[in-house]
Amino acid sequence: MSLEKAIQKYYRGLYPVTKILHYIGITIIAVLMFLTAIDVILRNITSFLNNIGVGSTVSVKGWYELTEYLMVILVAFTIAYCGIEKGHVVIELILNRLSQRVQAIASIITNFLSLGFFIIITWQSALYVTQITRASTTLLIPAWPFVAVVAVGTAALCFVFLLHFLESIIQVRKT
């Protein structure tokens, strides 16, 4: 099997996984918007009632902790989809002036270093899951599932960087 066909097969397997994680991230954004709207409405209503002498200002208890944890899920689960869609920031000002071969070599180096960096993040996150025992202060939500989410999200991103790395190798071979 040629490298191009292997990459196509790899992409067909990876894309649905990143898409599912992306949909989870989109759902998290909806939940965050809903929680924020409820918090703002409650604060405005109770602030109004407080101003007229009835009750005191109320907000959703533990909202900040919940927002922090939901943001972890959001970022970890959407970063791989952004990578597979090549939505990350790329500095093209200098690279566009170079030959296709030099651009592909730069892409190989960048993707290799990114892959190595995120392999370390995934590995350390997976190790940290087994060691973490803390929970949030207000809602007492354990932190380890969210560290596991980071490990899953960065592992998916590692597979995306591997895909881009292999694509860059093919591009160098063609030029």
Cβ within 8 Å of residue 25, ≥6 positions away: 73, 74, 75, 77, 78, 81
Cα angle 168-169-173, degrees, rounded to a multiple of 5:
115
User: In angstroms, rounded to a whole number, what is the distance separating the alpha carbons of residues 149 and 70?
Assistant: 10
How is the chain split into domains, by residue range? 3-174
Mean pLDDT of each 10-residue bin along the chain, 175 residues long: 85 93 95 89 81 70 87 95 84 80 91 97 95 86 94 96 93 87
- Residue 88 DSSP one-character state: S
